[in-house]
Amino acid sequence: MPDPAIWGSTTDMHAAFFSDLALARHLFAEHLPPSVAAEIDLESLQPTRDSFVDAELRASYSDLVFTARLRGSAEALIYLIFEHKSGPDPATPFQLLRYVVRIWESRLREGKDLCCVIPFVFHHGRTGWTAGRQVSDLVNVPEPLKRYVPNMELQILDLHVQSDEQLARDLQLRTNLLLLKYAQRPELAEHLPTICRQMAGWLSEPDGRSRIEAALNYIANGTDQVSAAQLSTAIENEIRDRSIQMPTIVQQRFLEGVEEGKQQGLEEGKTIGLTQGIQQGLTQGIQQGLTQGIQQGLSQGIQQGLSQGLSQGQWIGQIQTLQELLGQPVSPSAELTARSIAELTELAGALKAAVQGKKS
Protein backbone atom coordinates (compact mmCIF):
# COMPACT_ATOMS: atom_id res chain seq x y z
CA MET A 1 0.00 0.00 0.00
CA PRO A 2 1.18 3.62 -0.43
CA ASP A 3 3.33 4.93 2.38
CA PRO A 4 1.66 8.00 3.99
CA ALA A 5 5.11 9.26 4.96
CA ILE A 6 5.80 10.19 1.33
CA TRP A 7 2.66 12.25 0.80
CA GLY A 8 4.63 15.39 1.53
CA SER A 9 4.47 16.81 -2.00
CA THR A 10 2.43 16.47 -5.16
CA THR A 11 5.25 14.78 -7.06
CA ASP A 12 5.74 12.24 -4.23
CA MET A 13 2.06 11.27 -4.45
CA HIS A 14 2.46 10.13 -8.05
CA ALA A 15 5.18 7.73 -6.98
CA ALA A 16 3.20 6.74 -3.87
CA PHE A 17 0.40 5.30 -6.00
CA PHE A 18 2.74 2.84 -7.71
CA SER A 19 4.93 1.96 -4.75
CA ASP A 20 2.10 -0.53 -4.20
CA LEU A 21 3.55 -3.67 -5.81
CA ALA A 22 0.17 -5.04 -6.88
CA LEU A 23 -0.61 -1.82 -8.75
CA ALA A 24 2.88 -1.72 -10.28
CA ARG A 25 2.55 -5.30 -11.53
CA HIS A 26 -0.84 -4.53 -13.11
CA LEU A 27 0.58 -1.34 -14.66
CA PHE A 28 3.51 -3.08 -16.36
CA ALA A 29 1.50 -6.16 -17.34
CA GLU A 30 -1.10 -4.02 -19.13
CA HIS A 31 1.04 -1.22 -20.54
CA LEU A 32 4.36 -2.76 -21.52
CA PRO A 33 4.40 -4.27 -25.02
CA PRO A 34 3.22 -7.91 -24.69
CA SER A 35 6.51 -9.23 -26.09
CA VAL A 36 8.45 -7.26 -23.45
CA ALA A 37 6.13 -8.19 -20.57
CA ALA A 38 6.48 -11.87 -21.55
CA GLU A 39 10.23 -11.72 -20.84
CA ILE A 40 9.81 -10.33 -17.32
CA ASP A 41 8.83 -12.30 -14.23
CA LEU A 42 6.54 -9.63 -12.75
CA GLU A 43 6.02 -11.71 -9.60
CA SER A 44 9.68 -11.04 -8.80
CA LEU A 45 9.15 -7.26 -9.11
CA GLN A 46 10.58 -5.34 -6.15
CA PRO A 47 10.90 -1.58 -5.56
CA THR A 48 14.19 0.04 -4.59
CA ARG A 49 14.75 3.25 -2.69
CA ASP A 50 16.97 4.69 -5.39
CA SER A 51 16.21 7.96 -7.16
CA PHE A 52 18.27 9.42 -9.99
CA VAL A 53 16.41 12.63 -10.83
CA ASP A 54 18.42 15.85 -10.47
CA ALA A 55 17.40 17.86 -7.41
CA GLU A 56 16.61 20.91 -9.53
CA LEU A 57 14.29 18.83 -11.75
CA ARG A 58 12.21 17.23 -8.98
CA ALA A 59 9.40 19.72 -9.62
CA SER A 60 9.17 18.28 -13.16
CA TYR A 61 9.99 14.61 -12.61
CA SER A 62 9.72 11.92 -9.94
CA ASP A 63 10.93 8.35 -10.31
CA LEU A 64 10.71 4.78 -9.02
CA VAL A 65 13.16 2.01 -9.75
CA PHE A 66 12.03 -1.64 -9.77
CA THR A 67 14.14 -4.75 -10.06
CA ALA A 68 12.83 -7.92 -11.68
CA ARG A 69 14.13 -11.24 -12.94
CA LEU A 70 13.96 -12.06 -16.60
CA ARG A 71 12.66 -15.42 -17.74
CA GLY A 72 16.24 -16.50 -18.37
CA SER A 73 17.19 -15.65 -14.74
CA ALA A 74 19.09 -12.47 -15.67
CA GLU A 75 18.20 -9.24 -13.86
CA ALA A 76 16.51 -6.22 -15.36
CA LEU A 77 15.40 -2.86 -14.05
CA ILE A 78 12.24 -0.98 -14.88
CA TYR A 79 12.79 2.74 -14.46
CA LEU A 80 9.37 4.37 -13.95
CA ILE A 81 9.50 8.14 -14.28
CA PHE A 82 6.58 10.53 -13.89
CA GLU A 83 6.59 13.73 -15.92
CA HIS A 84 4.78 16.54 -14.10
CA LYS A 85 4.58 19.06 -16.93
CA SER A 86 1.53 20.34 -18.80
CA GLY A 87 3.20 19.37 -22.08
CA PRO A 88 5.98 16.95 -23.12
CA ASP A 89 9.59 18.07 -22.81
CA PRO A 90 11.55 17.40 -26.04
CA ALA A 91 14.68 16.77 -23.95
CA THR A 92 13.08 13.89 -22.02
CA PRO A 93 14.87 11.11 -24.02
CA PHE A 94 18.22 12.73 -23.20
CA GLN A 95 17.26 13.14 -19.52
CA LEU A 96 16.32 9.47 -19.36
CA LEU A 97 19.60 8.46 -21.00
CA ARG A 98 21.48 10.38 -18.29
CA TYR A 99 19.48 8.62 -15.56
CA VAL A 100 20.05 5.20 -17.10
CA VAL A 101 23.79 5.91 -17.22
CA ARG A 102 23.63 6.87 -13.54
CA ILE A 103 21.92 3.57 -12.76
CA TRP A 104 24.71 1.70 -14.59
CA GLU A 105 27.37 3.74 -12.79
CA SER A 106 25.74 2.87 -9.46
CA ARG A 107 25.75 -0.84 -10.32
CA LEU A 108 29.38 -0.76 -11.36
CA ARG A 109 30.35 0.93 -8.08
CA GLU A 110 28.55 -1.87 -6.26
CA GLY A 111 30.42 -4.50 -8.28
CA LYS A 112 27.32 -5.55 -10.25
CA ASP A 113 27.06 -6.23 -13.95
CA LEU A 114 25.30 -3.86 -16.29
CA CYS A 115 21.74 -4.92 -17.04
CA CYS A 116 18.79 -3.95 -19.21
CA VAL A 117 17.00 -0.82 -17.99
CA ILE A 118 13.50 -0.23 -19.37
CA PRO A 119 12.69 3.50 -19.29
CA PHE A 120 8.93 3.77 -18.68
CA VAL A 121 7.59 7.34 -18.92
CA PHE A 122 4.26 8.14 -17.28
CA HIS A 123 2.75 11.17 -19.04
CA HIS A 124 -0.53 12.76 -17.96
CA GLY A 125 -0.14 16.35 -19.14
CA ARG A 126 -2.87 18.53 -20.57
CA THR A 127 -1.72 17.65 -24.10
CA GLY A 128 -0.68 14.36 -25.64
CA TRP A 129 2.92 13.26 -26.08
CA THR A 130 4.35 14.93 -29.19
CA ALA A 131 8.08 14.84 -28.39
CA GLY A 132 10.51 12.23 -29.64
CA ARG A 133 10.70 8.75 -28.12
CA GLN A 134 14.31 8.00 -28.97
CA VAL A 135 17.60 9.70 -28.14
CA SER A 136 18.49 9.62 -31.85
CA ASP A 137 15.48 11.87 -32.53
CA LEU A 138 17.43 14.69 -30.87
CA VAL A 139 20.52 14.39 -33.08
CA ASN A 140 20.32 15.45 -36.71
CA VAL A 141 23.00 13.51 -38.60
CA PRO A 142 23.23 11.79 -42.01
CA GLU A 143 22.16 8.16 -42.08
CA PRO A 144 25.73 6.73 -42.28
CA LEU A 145 26.63 8.53 -39.02
CA LYS A 146 23.66 7.39 -36.96
CA ARG A 147 25.61 4.30 -35.84
CA TYR A 148 27.72 6.64 -33.67
CA VAL A 149 24.72 8.18 -31.86
CA PRO A 150 23.65 6.51 -28.59
CA ASN A 151 20.10 5.31 -28.91
CA MET A 152 17.41 4.30 -26.46
CA GLU A 153 13.65 4.14 -26.94
CA LEU A 154 11.24 5.27 -24.24
CA GLN A 155 8.17 3.27 -23.31
CA ILE A 156 5.55 5.99 -22.89
CA LEU A 157 2.16 5.66 -21.25
CA ASP A 158 0.27 8.68 -22.58
CA LEU A 159 -2.97 8.97 -20.62
CA HIS A 160 -4.13 11.80 -22.86
CA VAL A 161 -4.74 9.44 -25.79
CA GLN A 162 -6.04 6.52 -23.73
CA SER A 163 -9.81 6.19 -23.58
CA ASP A 164 -11.23 5.75 -20.08
CA GLU A 165 -12.18 2.15 -20.93
CA GLN A 166 -8.64 1.31 -22.07
CA LEU A 167 -6.89 2.59 -18.97
CA ALA A 168 -6.78 -0.73 -17.13
CA ARG A 169 -8.70 -3.91 -16.38
CA ASP A 170 -7.84 -3.80 -12.68
CA LEU A 171 -10.37 -1.61 -10.83
CA GLN A 172 -7.91 0.09 -8.48
CA LEU A 173 -5.39 0.77 -11.25
CA ARG A 174 -8.15 2.08 -13.54
CA THR A 175 -9.38 4.42 -10.79
CA ASN A 176 -5.89 5.79 -10.12
CA LEU A 177 -5.18 6.24 -13.83
CA LEU A 178 -8.56 7.91 -14.32
CA LEU A 179 -7.73 10.34 -11.53
CA LEU A 180 -4.26 11.06 -12.92
CA LYS A 181 -5.64 11.45 -16.45
CA TYR A 182 -7.98 14.28 -15.47
CA ALA A 183 -6.00 15.74 -12.55
CA GLN A 184 -4.84 18.77 -14.55
CA ARG A 185 -7.89 19.09 -16.78
CA PRO A 186 -11.19 20.95 -16.23
CA GLU A 187 -13.10 17.69 -16.80
CA LEU A 188 -11.99 16.44 -13.37
CA ALA A 189 -15.09 17.96 -11.75
CA GLU A 190 -17.27 15.96 -14.16
CA HIS A 191 -15.45 12.67 -13.47
CA LEU A 192 -14.96 13.15 -9.72
CA PRO A 193 -18.22 11.38 -8.68
CA THR A 194 -17.26 8.34 -10.81
CA ILE A 195 -13.75 8.28 -9.35
CA CYS A 196 -15.07 8.46 -5.77
CA ARG A 197 -17.72 5.81 -6.53
CA GLN A 198 -15.02 3.44 -7.80
CA MET A 199 -12.84 4.19 -4.77
CA ALA A 200 -15.76 3.18 -2.54
CA GLY A 201 -15.25 -0.35 -3.93
CA TRP A 202 -11.91 -0.51 -2.12
CA LEU A 203 -13.57 -0.38 1.29
CA SER A 204 -13.92 -4.17 1.35
CA GLU A 205 -10.12 -4.57 1.03
CA PRO A 206 -7.90 -4.70 4.14
CA ASP A 207 -6.05 -1.46 3.34
CA GLY A 208 -8.86 0.10 1.30
CA ARG A 209 -9.38 3.09 3.60
CA SER A 210 -5.68 3.99 3.50
CA ARG A 211 -5.72 3.82 -0.29
CA ILE A 212 -8.80 6.03 -0.48
CA GLU A 213 -7.26 8.57 1.86
CA ALA A 214 -4.07 8.57 -0.26
CA ALA A 215 -6.13 9.33 -3.37
CA LEU A 216 -8.13 12.04 -1.57
CA ASN A 217 -4.91 13.65 -0.37
CA TYR A 218 -3.67 13.68 -3.96
CA ILE A 219 -6.87 15.39 -5.14
CA ALA A 220 -6.68 17.92 -2.31
CA ASN A 221 -3.00 18.72 -2.82
CA GLY A 222 -2.25 17.86 -6.44
CA THR A 223 -4.90 19.64 -8.48
CA ASP A 224 -6.72 22.96 -8.62
CA GLN A 225 -9.47 21.72 -10.94
CA VAL A 226 -12.08 21.09 -8.21
CA SER A 227 -13.09 23.10 -5.19
CA ALA A 228 -13.08 21.87 -1.61
CA ALA A 229 -16.88 21.96 -1.65
CA GLN A 230 -17.03 19.76 -4.79
CA LEU A 231 -14.65 17.23 -3.25
CA SER A 232 -16.55 17.20 0.06
CA THR A 233 -19.83 16.61 -1.79
CA ALA A 234 -18.37 13.75 -3.86
CA ILE A 235 -16.96 12.07 -0.74
CA GLU A 236 -20.29 12.38 1.10
CA ASN A 237 -22.47 11.24 -1.82
CA GLU A 238 -20.31 8.49 -3.35
CA ILE A 239 -18.03 7.02 -0.66
CA ARG A 240 -20.51 7.34 2.22
CA ASP A 241 -18.14 6.16 4.92
CA ARG A 242 -17.73 8.43 7.92
CA SER A 243 -14.55 6.62 8.95
CA ILE A 244 -12.77 8.10 5.92
CA GLN A 245 -10.60 10.95 7.14
CA MET A 246 -11.29 14.17 5.28
CA PRO A 247 -7.98 15.59 4.05
CA THR A 248 -6.95 18.48 6.29
CA ILE A 249 -6.42 20.69 3.26
CA VAL A 250 -10.04 20.08 2.19
CA GLN A 251 -11.36 21.08 5.60
CA GLN A 252 -9.16 24.15 5.58
CA ARG A 253 -10.23 25.15 2.07
CA PHE A 254 -13.89 24.53 2.95
CA LEU A 255 -13.63 26.77 6.01
CA GLU A 256 -11.75 29.36 3.97
CA GLY A 257 -14.52 29.15 1.38
CA VAL A 258 -17.19 29.65 4.05
CA GLU A 259 -15.32 32.63 5.46
CA GLU A 260 -14.75 34.04 1.98
CA GLY A 261 -18.45 33.57 1.25
CA LYS A 262 -19.36 35.42 4.44
CA GLN A 263 -17.03 38.27 3.56
CA GLN A 264 -18.29 38.43 0.00
CA GLY A 265 -21.89 38.34 1.24
CA LEU A 266 -21.09 41.12 3.71
CA GLU A 267 -19.59 43.31 1.00
CA GLU A 268 -22.47 42.61 -1.38
CA GLY A 269 -24.93 43.30 1.45
CA LYS A 270 -23.24 46.62 2.13
CA THR A 271 -23.49 47.58 -1.52
CA ILE A 272 -27.14 46.53 -1.81
CA GLY A 273 -27.97 48.22 1.52
CA LEU A 274 -26.25 51.44 0.44
CA THR A 275 -28.16 51.47 -2.85
CA GLN A 276 -31.47 50.74 -1.16
CA GLY A 277 -30.72 53.29 1.56
CA ILE A 278 -29.99 56.01 -0.97
CA GLN A 279 -33.15 55.21 -2.89
CA GLN A 280 -35.28 55.09 0.24
CA GLY A 281 -33.65 58.28 1.53
CA LEU A 282 -34.37 60.06 -1.74
CA THR A 283 -37.99 58.95 -1.63
CA GLN A 284 -38.45 60.02 1.97
CA GLY A 285 -36.53 63.23 1.38
CA ILE A 286 -38.71 64.16 -1.59
CA GLN A 287 -41.86 63.43 0.40
CA GLN A 288 -40.68 65.39 3.42
CA GLY A 289 -39.45 68.21 1.21
CA LEU A 290 -42.79 68.33 -0.58
CA THR A 291 -44.69 68.49 2.72
CA GLN A 292 -42.41 71.15 4.14
CA GLY A 293 -42.51 73.06 0.85
CA ILE A 294 -46.28 73.14 0.85
CA GLN A 295 -46.34 74.35 4.44
CA GLN A 296 -43.70 76.99 3.83
CA GLY A 297 -45.30 78.05 0.56
CA LEU A 298 -48.70 78.35 2.20
CA SER A 299 -47.27 80.42 5.00
CA GLN A 300 -45.33 82.64 2.64
CA GLY A 301 -48.35 82.92 0.36
CA ILE A 302 -50.59 84.05 3.22
CA GLN A 303 -48.01 86.54 4.35
CA GLN A 304 -47.47 87.84 0.86
CA GLY A 305 -51.22 87.91 0.22
CA LEU A 306 -51.82 89.91 3.39
CA SER A 307 -49.11 92.36 2.48
CA GLN A 308 -50.34 92.69 -1.08
CA GLY A 309 -53.98 92.99 0.09
CA LEU A 310 -53.05 95.72 2.55
CA SER A 311 -51.20 97.67 -0.10
CA GLN A 312 -54.00 97.19 -2.60
CA GLY A 313 -56.58 98.32 -0.02
CA GLN A 314 -54.61 101.50 0.66
CA TRP A 315 -54.47 102.37 -3.04
CA ILE A 316 -58.19 101.70 -3.52
CA GLY A 317 -58.99 103.97 -0.51
CA GLN A 318 -56.86 106.78 -1.98
CA ILE A 319 -58.45 106.42 -5.44
CA GLN A 320 -62.01 106.51 -4.11
CA THR A 321 -61.18 109.57 -1.90
CA LEU A 322 -59.62 111.47 -4.81
CA GLN A 323 -62.57 110.65 -7.02
CA GLU A 324 -64.94 112.17 -4.40
CA LEU A 325 -62.79 115.31 -4.20
CA LEU A 326 -62.94 115.69 -7.96
CA GLY A 327 -66.68 115.07 -8.02
CA GLN A 328 -66.20 111.97 -10.12
CA PRO A 329 -68.22 108.77 -9.82
CA VAL A 330 -66.56 106.59 -7.19
CA SER A 331 -65.38 103.29 -8.65
CA PRO A 332 -66.75 100.20 -6.89
CA SER A 333 -64.22 98.39 -4.69
CA ALA A 334 -64.81 95.11 -6.60
CA GLU A 335 -63.84 96.78 -9.87
CA LEU A 336 -60.67 98.28 -8.40
CA THR A 337 -59.69 95.05 -6.66
CA ALA A 338 -59.52 93.33 -10.07
CA ARG A 339 -56.72 95.70 -11.09
CA SER A 340 -53.04 95.15 -10.40
CA ILE A 341 -51.03 97.29 -7.98
CA ALA A 342 -49.28 98.91 -10.96
CA GLU A 343 -52.59 99.89 -12.50
CA LEU A 344 -53.90 101.24 -9.20
CA THR A 345 -50.69 103.21 -8.67
CA GLU A 346 -50.99 104.73 -12.14
CA LEU A 347 -54.70 105.63 -11.63
CA ALA A 348 -54.00 107.19 -8.21
CA GLY A 349 -51.18 109.24 -9.74
CA ALA A 350 -53.47 110.61 -12.43
CA LEU A 351 -56.17 111.57 -9.88
CA LYS A 352 -53.59 113.31 -7.66
CA ALA A 353 -52.41 115.30 -10.67
CA ALA A 354 -56.01 116.28 -11.46
CA VAL A 355 -56.54 117.45 -7.86
CA GLN A 356 -53.34 119.56 -8.01
CA GLY A 357 -54.47 121.09 -11.31
CA LYS A 358 -57.82 122.00 -9.84
CA LYS A 359 -56.20 123.78 -6.90
CA SER A 360 -54.03 125.89 -9.10
In a structure prediction context, what are the per-residue pLDDT tens digits for the chain, which is 360 residues long? 444 333 334 445 666 677 788 889 999 999 999 999 999 999 999 988 887 776 766 666 678 889 999 988 789 999 888 876 667 788 889 989 999 999 999 999 999 999 999 999 988 877 888 888 999 999 999 999 999 998 899 999 998 888 898 899 988 889 889 998 888 888 999 999 999 999 888 888 887 888 888 888 888 877 788 888 888 888 888 887 766 766 654 555 544 554 555 566 666 766 776 677 677 767 776 677 667 766 776 666 556 655 666 677 777 777 778 777 778 888 888 888 888 888 888 888 888 887 777 766
Query: What domain range includes position 51?
Result: 4-138+146-261
Q: Are residues 176 and 53 in the same domain?
A: yes
342 and 244 within one domain: no
- The reply to whether 186 and 323 lie within a common domain is no
Rounded distance between C-alpha atoms, residue 358 and residue 346, angstroms: 19
210 and 324 housed in the same domain: no
DSSP state of 41: E
Instruction: Verify that 312 and 164 share a domain, yes or no.
Output: no
On whether residue 199 sits in a domain, the answer given is: yes
Q: Determine, yes or no, domain membership for 321.
A: yes
- Residue 296 inside a domain? The answer is no
pTM beyond 0.75: no
Q: Could you tell me how far CA 119 lies from the centroid of its own chain?
A: 36
113-129 in b/e form (b: 16+ CB < 10 A) is eeeebbbbbbbbbeeeb
Q: How many structural domains comprise the chain?
A: 2
The alpha helices in 110-187, defined as continuous H runs, are 171-182
Let me know: does 117 contact 76? Beta carbons within 8 Å.
yes
Say if 272 falls within a structural domain. Answer: no
28 part of a folded domain: yes
Q: Does residue 245 belong to any structural domain of this protein?
A: yes
Residues 14 and 129 both lie in one domain: yes
Q: Where are the alpha helices (DSSP H) in 183-222?
A: 188-200, 208-222
Residues 231 and 310 in one domain: no
Within this chain, do residues 104 and 37 fall inside the same structural domain, yes or no? yes
Whether 216 and 334 share a structural domain:
no
Domain end (from 243, 261, 279): 261
Same domain, 318 and 191: no
**197 lies in the same domain as 106:** yes
Residues 315, 195, single domain; the answer is no
Count the helices and strands in the chain (H runs, E runs).
11, 5
Do 84 and 15 touch, CB atoms closer than 8 A?
Answer: no
The answer to whether position 277 is within a domain reads: no
